[in-house]
A and B are shown apart, each in its own frame.
Chain A
Amino acid sequence: MSIPRRALLTGATGFLGRRILRELVRGGWSVRCAVRPASDIQSLIEFFGDGWSLASRQIEILPGNLADAGFCREITDGIDCIFHAAASLTGSVSSLVSNTVVPTRTLFAVAADQKVGRAVLVSSLGVYGPQKLRCGSVLDETCPLDEFPARRDGYTYSKTLQEEVARTISADRGLPLVVIRPGVIYGDERGVLSHRIALPLGSLLLRMGGHQQVPLTYVDNCAAAIVQAGQANGIDGETVNLIDDDLPTGCDVIRRYRRSGHRLRTIGVPRWAILWLARFNEWYSRTSDDQIPAVLTRHRVNAMWKPLRYSNERARRLLDWTPRISLDEAFQRTLQSTTSSSTR
C-alpha cells in the first residue's frame, strides 16, 4: 500500500485520539475528525496550544453520529485510511455496546462500500483469554481470545464484540483491516495505576499481586504505532499487540510513584490470597443471590493478574516501530503531571 494522505480519525477528543491526531498531523496527513455533537473541541484545541493554528490547516472536524450511515458516508468520502479509536470505557453493558460496537459496525460497513484503503481498529489487549496459559508464559498474538468475555466486565465484552464485528465486515465485504491491541495506556492525564496494579478501597490501594509484569504502553508510543499501522505496507489482516519495552512490575510502579513524592497507602494482596478472595466472592454472591455481586472471580483474576510476560516483537517487525520514549522518561513525564494518586 502506498502512503495514504487522507485519514479519518474517530475518538480525536480522547486521551489517545488527540495524540494520534498530533502524530498524523506531524506525519503530513490531512485528517478528518469525526466527533460527537457534544464532544469537547475546546480542550482538543488547548491540547495543541500554540501549534493549533498551524495544525488546524490539516484538520477538518465534522460532528455527527457514527451510528448513522448517512454521516458515515459523508465522513468516509475520499478517505484512504480510517483510524478508529472511538469507544466508551465506562457505563452499562448496553450503553457500551451502543456506543462502541454499533458505531463500529455502521462505520466499517460504509467504509467497505466506499472502498476505503484500510481501517485500523484500536482494540485492547484485554480481549485475550490467558486463563489457560501457564504462569510465566508469553502472551502474544497467538493467545486465544477470552471464550467468555461476558464474564469479564462490560468494557472487555464490548471490545471483544467490536473486534468480532469488524472482522466479520472485513471478511464478508473486503475491508482491509489492521487490529491493534494496546495494553494499559498511560500518560500525562491518566497516570499508571490501573486496576492491573491495584484496586482502590476508599483511600487505600489494594496491590494485586505485584510481582507480575504490567503490560503498559506510553500514550505517545502507542499513538505513533497506530499511525504506523495506517501506513505500513503489506499488513492488511494483521493483528498486533502494543506494549512498550522493559515492562515494570506492579511493585516497581508503586516504588516509582513513591520515589517521585506521591504518598500511596497500599496493602499488598498476594496472588494466592486473590484467588481465595475470588472463590469466596463467587460463593457468597451465589448463596446470597447477588447481594454482593461477583466482582472478583477466578475467571477475571486469571485474566488480569496472572504472572505473564508480554512481547512486542510483532509490532516492531510489522510496523517498523520501536517505543520512542523510554520507560524512565515516560514515567518521569507522567508522574510529574500526575499530582494525585488517583486510580482508574
Chain B
Amino acid sequence: MSHQRYRVALVGCGQIADAHLQQIRRISCAELVAVCDLEPLLARQAAERFDVPTQFTDFDQMLGEAAPDILHVTTPVHTHASLACRALQAGVHVYVEKPFAVDLAEARRIVATAQKNNRLVCLGHDQLFDPAWRQCVELVSSGTIGDVQHVDSYLAYPLQGPFGRQVLQDHNHWVRRLPGGLFQNTMSHPLYRITEFLTDESPAIQAEWFSRNIEHDLPTELRLNLRGRSVTGTLTFTSSTRPCRRVTRVFGTQGSLEVDLDTQLCRIDRGERFPGAFAKLEAPIRDVVTSLRNLARNTARFWRAEFHYFAGMYELFQRFYAAIDAGEAAPVSDRESLRVTAIMDEVFATCRQNDYLSNSADDGDDGRVVLNLIRETGELVADACRSSHSPVGRPS
C-alpha cells in the first residue's frame, strides 16, 4: 500500500465520475482536490456531493491551480487523448476510464507522452481486479482447469438503462459518432476478460454487428470470434436478453469455469467421475456442493462488508497509486492498453466491412472492389469524431 499522500483531481463529471469519486474517497492516501467539467453545473454537483474543495470549467487552469499528482479522466472517449497528454506533460499521473482512446493512433500518443514525461498512465480495466475475477484467475493459474483453450465472454447490456436511453433518444449523442458506436464505449470490459487469457498480439478476428429491434437506428448487438495461437475467444454483446449479466466461461483441457461478476459466483466443472446413470446423480450433487460453497463464501464476504459494485475499481485505484509510490509499472500495462485498442479498431473495421458487404449484396453490387477503402473509413470516422468535439466534453 502506498505511503505518500496524493492530490487527486478528476475531469468529466458524468455518471461514472460518481463511482470514481466514491472509491477515491475510500483510499486513505488520496486527497480529492478538484473536479472539472466544461459544464459548470456538472462540476458543481460533483463537488457538492463528494465534498471536493475546488471546481473548474477550464482544464488547464485546474492543472495549474489545483496542482494534482494524479488525474482521473472520465470524459467521453474522444477527449481522452488530448486531456491525458496535457496532464502527463504537466507531470501528472493519469488514470483513463475505458475505452482508452478513439483509435490506436491516439492510444499510442498517450503511451508515448507518458513514457516521455516519465509518468504512469493506467487504463480503467477495473473488472480484472474484481474479487470474483481474481478468484477465477487464481483457479486457472493453479491449474484447476488445465491449459486454457477457449474463453466465452458475455455481456447483456441494459439498453433501457439511464445511459442507453440517452443514446437511443439523442441522435446526436457523442457515442453515436464513435467509430465503434455503442460498442466502443462498453465492449472493452467483456473483451479484456478474454485477452487476459488470449495473449496474442493480433488474433484473427471475425465480427459482425446488427440490430434486433427495428426501432433502433443503430447496431445494438455484436458477435465476435477471436483466434490466437493456442486460445480462442467468443464475445457476445447483447442488448436483447435479460437479466443483465457479465458472465465469462473459461474452458481448459481439464475442466471449465464460469464466473459471474454480478452475482460474484464462480463455478468449476471438471466433468463426472462416475459412469453412466450414476453421473446423472453426481452432477446435481456436485451443483449443490458448489452452491453451498458459494453461499458460505458470499455470506462471509457479506459479513465482512466486501460487496461493492465497484470493488474492482477500488482495487485498481489502490494498485495504481501504489505503483506510482513504488515507481513500478501501472497495473494495466501499456502493452495491454494498446493491444485491446488495436483489437477494437480491427473489430469495428470488420463490422463495417460486413455491413457494407451485406448492404451491397442487397443492392446487387460487387462490394469487394472497395473493401480496402472501408478500413480507411474507420480512420476517417475517428478523425471526424475528434474534430466534431471540443477538447473537454460531456460526461462519459
Cβ–Cβ < 8 Å partners of B162 in chain A: 90-92, 95
B211 contacts partner chain A, Cβ-Cβ < 8 Å? no
Q: Are A102 and B41 in contact (CB under 8 A)?
A: yes
Given A90-B162, A291-B306, A97-B42 contact (CB < 8 Å): yes
Partner of A94, one of B15, B169, B302, B308: B15
Q: A288–B162 Cα gap in the complex (Å)?
A: 27
* Known pairs A38-B169, A150-B49; A94 contacts B22 (CB<8 A): no
- Hey, what's the 0/1 contact readout for A69-101 against B, CB within 8 Å counting as 1? 000000000000000000000111111011001
| Contact digits for B146-171, partner A, Cβ 8 Å, 1 yes 0 no | 00000000000000001100101111
Determine if A289 and B45 form an interchain contact, defined as CB atoms under 8 angstroms apart: no
Give the chain A neighbours of B394 by CB distance below 8 A: 98
Contacts of A157 in B (CB 8 A): 45, 49
Q: Which residues of A contact B170 (CB under 8 A)?
A: 37-38
Residues of B within 8 A of A290 (CB): 22, 308
Decide yes or no whether B274 CB sits under 8 A from chain A.
no
Determine if A53 is an interface residue (Cβ-Cβ < 8 Å).
Answer: no
- Min C-beta distance of B62 to chain A, whole Å: 18
Tell me how far the C-beta of B104 lies from the nearest C-beta in chain A, rounded to whole angstroms: 30
Is A224 at the interface (CB under 8 A from chain B)? no
Asked if A279 is an interface residue, CB under 8 A from chain B, the answer is: no
Contact A289:B42 (CB < 8 A) given known A92-B18, A150-B48: no
A340 proximal to B (CB < 8 A): no
Interface residues of B in 227-250 (CB under 8 A from A): none
Given A37-B171, A102-B39, A94 and B305 contact (CB-CB distance below 8 Å): no
Q: List residues 165-210 of chain A with CB under 8 A from any CB of chain B.
A: 165
Docked complex Cα distance between A100 and B94 (Å): 32
Q: What residues of chain A lie closer than 8 Å to B17, measured between beta carbons?
A: 94
Q: Given that A93-B49, A97-B45, A161-B41 are contacting pairs, would A291 and B302 also be in contact in the complex, using a CB cutoff of 8 Å?
A: yes
- Are B171 and A98 in contact, with the CB atoms below 8 A? no
CB distance from A68 to the nearest CB of B (A): 10
Query: Cα distance A291–B44 when bound, in Å?
Result: 26
**Which residues of chain B have C-beta atoms less than 8 A from A90's C-beta?**
162
Residues of B within 8 A of A165 (CB): 41
| Chain B residue nearest to A148 in the complex (CB) | B48
Convert B24-56 into 0s and 1s, putting 1 for each residue whose CB lies closer than 8 angstroms to a CB of A: 001000000000000101101110110000000
Mark out the residues of chain B between 1 and 26 whose CB falls within 8 Å of any chain A CB in the assembled complex.
Answer: 13-15, 17-18, 22, 26
Complex interface: chain A residues within 8 A of B22 (CB): 290
Q: 13 A-B pairs, CB-CB below 8 angstroms? A: A38-B169, A38-B171, A92-B15, A93-B18, A93-B49, A95-B15, A97-B42, A98-B39, A101-B41, A102-B39, A165-B41, A289-B305, A290-B22
Give the A-B contact count at a CB cut-off of 8 A.
Answer: 63
**Contact, CB under 8 Å: B305 / A287:** yes
The 3 residue pairs across chains A and B that have the minimum distance between CB atoms: A288-B305, A38-B169, A91-B162
Write the nearest CB–CB distance from A163 to chain B, whole angstroms: 13
Interface: A105 (CB within 8 A): yes
B48–A291 CB distance below 8 A: no
User: Digit string of B289-333 for contact with A (CB within 8 Å is 1, else 0)?
Assistant: 000000000000010011110000000000000000000000000
Q: How many residues of B contact A (CB 8 A)?
A: 29
Please tell me if B99 contacts chain A, counting CB pairs below 8 Å.
Answer: no
By a CB distance below 8 angstroms, the chain A residues around B68 are none
Shortest CB distance B108–A (Å): 31
Nearest-neighbour CB distance to chain B for A281, whole angstroms, equals: 14
Is A93 a contact partner of B307 (Cβ separation < 8 A)? Answer: no
Report the separation of the CA atoms of residues A232 and B171 in the bound assembly, to the nearest whole angstrom.
39
A161 to B170, CA, bound (A): 24
With both chains docked as a complex, state the minimum distance between the C-beta of A213 and any C-beta of chain B, in angstroms. Answer: 31
Is B179 an interface residue when CB atoms closer than 8 A count as contact?
no
- Across the interface, A93 reaches (CB within 8 A) one of B45, B306, B308, namely B45
A78 to B123 alpha-carbon distance, docked (Å): 51
B166 contacts A291, CB within 8 Å? no
Contacts of A38 in B (CB 8 A): 168-171
In the complex, chain B residues whose CB is within 8 Å of the CB of A287: 305
Within the assembled complex, what's the spacing in Å between the Cα atoms of A290 and B314? 13
Asked if B395 is an interface residue, CB under 8 A from chain A, the answer is yes
Q: Would you call A309 an interface residue if the criterion is a C-beta within 8 Å of the partner chain's C-beta atoms?
A: no
Kindly list chain B residues whose C-beta atoms are within 8 Å of the C-beta of A314.
Answer: none
Contact (Cβ within 8 A) A161 B308: no
Besides A94-B45, A161-B41, 14 more A-B contacts (Cβ < 8 Å) are: A38-B169, A92-B15, A92-B162, A94-B13, A94-B17, A95-B163, A95-B166, A97-B45, A98-B394, A157-B45, A161-B44, A287-B305, A290-B308, A291-B305
Whole-angstrom distance between the alpha carbons of A287 and B302 in the complex?
13
Q: Which of B26, B42, B48, B169 contacts A98 (CB 8 A)?
A: B42
B343: shortest Cβ distance to chain A, in Å?
30
**Interface flag for A36 (CB, 8 Å):** yes
**Out of B302, B308, B395, which one reaches A289, CB within 8 Å?**
B308
**Complex CA–CA separation, A302 to B162 (angstroms):** 29
Cα distance A47–B39 when bound, in Å? Answer: 36
Closest CB in chain B relative to A37 CB, distance in Å: 6
Q: Judging by beta carbons under 8 Å apart, are B18 and A105 in contact?
A: no
Contact yes or no, A94 B395, CB < 8 A: yes
Question: From residue 122 to 137 of chain A, which have CB atoms closer than 8 A to chain B?
Answer: none
Residues of chain A within 8 A (CB-CB) of B13 are 94
A67's nearest neighbour on chain B, judged by CB, is B39
Shortest A61–chain B CB gap in Å is 17
Chain A residues, CB < 8 A from B305: 287-289, 291
